[in-house]
Structure 1
Amino acid sequence: MTILKRCYSICKNIFGDMDNLIAVCQVTSCNDKEKNFQICKTLITNAHKCGAKMVFLPESVDYIEEDLKKSHEMAESLNGPLISSYKDLAKSLKIWLSIGGFHEKFSDTKLRNTHVVINNEGEIASKYHKIHLYDVDLPSKNIKAKESNLIEAGNEIVSPVKTSIGNVGLAICYDMRFPQMAVALAEKGADIITYPSAFFFGTGAYHWEVLLRSRAIETQCYVIASAQTGSHSSNRKSWGHSLVVDPLGTVIAQCSDEPGFVLAPIDLSLVNNLRQTMPLNQHRRYDIYPKMSTNSFYSLPISDTNEIKFGSVVVKGFQIFCQTALSMAFTNIKCVLPGHVLVAPLRCAEKLSDLSNEEIKDLFLLVQKVEKTIGTVHDTKSTSIVIQNGKDAGQTIKHVHIHIIPRKSGDYLDNDDIYRDLQNEKKSSNVKRSDEDMKQEAIVLKKYF
């Protein structure tokens, strides 16, 4: 048995299900692009033989060149030969790759520090341009670094990319010092946040691990940080110590200060369970401070065993087919027509006027998404969207909620009769649906979120 086959066997015994196994690589890049690629190719190939489904590479994985002019000349586009080589490698091995930091040509004077994710078909699945640039000038401490001399800052936090191991939020190195970005990625649905780095040796011992563990704890995400290590030139040295942190803040895998790779399992059930037992997203006070994320819609994981208070009753987890940071959509126990579902804020507020601006925005974005989905599932172009806002309007549950009901020609002889049925819903002779019936409907609807 070869060493790598023995490694695979050992990994399988340790980690069990190999579908969630990742590899985090550590290298010492130089100014020779081909040499750097061959080193990374060997690491990726060996990690694949050990069972890794996704491999993470560090920042500046293509090259490190101190001379700005030479660095600019060495840069490529995403269609250049280097990224093409990584795409071919990913396709041949059927493996996902995180190319942590690539010098991408941007203009005649500037580059972009670009994080590229390549899927197991050899296609670019996502890319992110580093938004926080390290610009420091401290003469008294002989520290001077100005990343913006060469790099044009990005201007967008990209939505997490859906991979074979979970939803991966993309960042780069210095971004880890900004918790707002990490929270924004979690709000956008990240299970994992990755910080490929070329972290300076001088601050590594003090800040590297504590920053990454903090980002994991506050977001309840896995944090993956592939790093450069060792001396790149006479005046440039990187800290190394690539690591993987679980959502509890525990370092579950770590390299030393030598080139190589480390394997780790990603257990998304740990993410989901932790977010259920400590629901930070539900406890964030968006009525007091703003959300970090600005994307219009994102769905959070749902546990069938969870229960959410809905006025004087509860909504069971298996009824919920979509949950966001502030709202939920769920199947109805008594329907006036087939497909009748409800959308409500997570916070128990009696009337629409009791909701914050953020809650209202989140609620109606979810209503819009649910309305489109109900139309697709029930093959209809019409819906009744109804709010009974207060007792005199027919509201019986003291928790604001919105009825979404698919409509078809002839379902009521008089269209207004549907509002009478809603007002008398509690006294209606319609049979209450079983838990299994509501669960199966939710399973069908979940697929659209």
Structure 2
Amino acid sequence: MRSWTVSLFQQISRVQVKRQYNTMVSKRIAICQMTSVADKDANLSVVSKLVRDATKDNVQMIFFPEACDFICDNKQDALNSAESILTGNTVKKYRELAAEHNVWLSMGGVHEKDENNPKKLFNTHIIINNNGEIVQTYRKIHLFDVEIPEKNIRLKESDFCTPGNQIVAPVDSPIGRIGLSICYDMRFPELSTSLSIMGAEILTYPSAFTYATGSAHWHILLRSRAIENQCYVVAAAQTGHHNKKRRSYGHGLIVDPWGEVLADCGDSAPNYQVAEISDRIVEVRQNMPVFKHRRPDVYSLYTLSLRNTLLQEHSEQIKPVVIQTQHRTSGPTNVFGHVSVPESCVFYKTDLTYAFVNLRCVTPGHVLVAPIRLVERNKDLTDKESDDFYRTVRLVQNLMERVHEAESSTITIQDGPDAGQTVRVEN
């Protein structure tokens, strides 16, 4: 029993806290700029040509702006043109382009049909790998609702969009760990800081910024996000007149962790710019270790709703796990033994596992991770539940060490009715 416990602890504690870098290794990326219109086929032709041209420059990943699928001049046309991520023809073509040209793609936000609400859609950022597989998606959480009469600006995204409700954990890619955001999200530094705490090296902001707000704030906001998080920032942009009502600012940018602009697409379209993502991020973070200088004893930032797995409605591989159990729960709480854990205490959650703050912390960063389905012993978890549980443990450990500036962690497993302090499984 002793050797099994030691072996298990060693197995789950092999967490790579610091990413390993190869000295002076550079990755080439392309940032694309376009002027989307209501005609989806016309926009797809532009996207296809940009992919063909950019891959000739030996890039590993290509970034497209928000609304790369279309921009309509009214709400109803946008709703009618929206498609499913999995079954829609537009995303299917994007996936075919990625596979054909052996390149990773960052697409959108695209207009995703909300199957549960015909009057709304999602603004969804999609990452596709070089095999044409959807690796991750992010639904925009901050909707652009702005009305400035004196500047003739009125755009209420909430009129036709359903906001997302989850931050997405950074995505591993050939160019580094990518944090997903969309356009207006850049005005909320809590999101970018959360992503950088979780290990993001590249922050993305595919955008369709209005001309008035872009000329005032675009460069300032993006350089600020890069500097304060010591991350690369990649912000592909729409530009020009899409219709009589709407004009975008352009100036798609790639910014390095020191705030230097590596590429600026200006106001022309269609065009693309190429830049290299190097290991300068290591140098910047070593020379000015701002995350080590943070004061978690004075303030902290916890991510309350985070996802690291692909949504089931966006995956061809992931199938819902159907488990018949008398302990299945619903509603705003989670069952942990005889204790009900309110959602307000949960800072990370997948379909199978959740992490929550401890009622009585022994030390800062003392948190709990548990399977959503209540089981008596570790051996009663399904393989899928077990895999997800240990992935969550590793992610939460990394998060706690970043937040609390720790260089080591203690991980313990409470397994069985006599383990732990106060919480027991009740039959």
Instruction: Give the TM-score category using the shorter length.
Output: 0.5 to 0.7
How is 1:392-411 mapped onto 2 (pairs within 5 angstroms)? Answer: none
- Helix, strand or coil: the match of 1:279? coil
Partner of 1:130: 140
Q: 2: distance between equivalents of 1:95 and 1:20?
A: 12
Paired residue for 2:252, among 242, 250, 253?
242
Please list the CA deviations of residues 2-40 of structure 1 after superposition, one character each: whole Å capped at 9, or x if unmatched. xxxxxxxxxxxxxxx896000000000000101101111
Deviation at 1:282, TM superposition (A): 1.4
Deviation at 1:276, TM superposition (A): 1.8
* 2:99 counterpart of 1:91: yes
- Helix, strand or coil: the match of 1:282? coil
Please list the CA deviations of residues 414-442 of structure 1 after superposition, one character each: whole Å capped at 9, or x if unmatched. xxxxxxxxxxxxxxxxxxxxxxxxxxxxx
**Conserved? CA contact 1:169–1:194, under 8 Å:** yes
Q: 2: distance between equivalents of 1:271 and 1:78?
A: 33
**Conserved? CA contact 1:23–1:55, under 8 Å:** yes
With over 3 angstroms needed to count, the CA separation of the structure-2 counterparts of 1:215 and 1:292, relative to structure 1, is farther
* 2:55 counterpart of 1:48: yes
With over 3 angstroms needed to count, the CA separation of the structure-2 counterparts of 1:47 and 1:359, relative to structure 1, is farther
Paired residue for 1:188, among 198, 204, 211?
198
Identity among equivalent pairs (%): 45
With over 3 angstroms needed to count, the CA separation of the structure-2 counterparts of 1:264 and 1:403, relative to structure 1, is closer
Paired residue for 2:66, among 56, 59, 65?
59
Please list the CA deviations of residues 336-395 of structure 1 after superposition, one character each: whole Å capped at 9, or x if unmatched. xxxxxxxxxxxxxxxxxxxxx9993536679xxxxx9xxxxxxxxxxxxxxxxxxxxxxx
- Helix, strand or coil: the match of 1:280? coil
- Helix, strand or coil: the match of 1:283? coil
* Structure number with bigger Rg: 1
Q: 1: distance between equivalents of 2:408 and 2:125?
A: 41
How is 1:86-165 mapped onto 2 (pairs within 5 angstroms)? Answer: 86-106=94-114, 107-165=117-175
Q: 1: distance between equivalents of 2:364 and 2:304?
A: 11
More helix by share: 1
Q: 2: distance between equivalents of 1:156 and 1:118?
A: 19
Q: 1: distance between equivalents of 2:408 and 2:156?
A: 52
With over 3 angstroms needed to count, the CA separation of the structure-2 counterparts of 1:359 and 1:75, relative to structure 1, is farther
Which structure's relative contact order is higher, taking Cα pairs within 8 Å and 6+ residues apart?
2
* 2:365 counterpart of 1:362: yes
* 2:33 counterpart of 1:26: yes
Q: Which runs of 5+ in 2 are unaligned?
A: 1-23, 309-359, 370-377, 379-405, 413-427
Q: 2: distance between equivalents of 1:71 and 1:364?
A: 44
Partner of 2:226: 216
State the TM-score, normalizing by the size of structure 2: 0.66
State the TM-score, normalizing by the size of structure 1: 0.63
Deviation at 1:71, TM superposition (A): 0.9
Please list the CA deviations of residues 194-235 of structure 1 after superposition, one character each: whole Å capped at 9, or x if unmatched. 100001011222211010000000000000000001110112
How is 1:164-183 mapped onto 2 (pairs within 5 angstroms)? Answer: 164-183=174-193
Q: 1: distance between equivalents of 2:227 and 2:131?
A: 33
4+ residue stretches of structure 1 with deviation over 4 A?
294-298, 363-366, 399-405
* 2:275 counterpart of 1:264: yes
Q: 2: distance between equivalents of 1:157 and 1:213?
A: 21
Deviation at 1:138, TM superposition (A): 3.4
- AA aligned opposite 2:52: T
- AA aligned opposite 1:25: C
- Residue correspondences, number: 302
Partner of 2:215: 205
Please list the CA deviations of residues 85-142 of structure 1 after superposition, one character each: whole Å capped at 9, or x if unmatched. 1111111111100002100001211000000000111111110001111112334543
With over 3 angstroms needed to count, the CA separation of the structure-2 counterparts of 1:358 and 1:113, relative to structure 1, is farther
With over 3 angstroms needed to count, the CA separation of the structure-2 counterparts of 1:290 and 1:32, relative to structure 1, is same
Q: 2: distance between equivalents of 1:236 and 1:400?
A: 50
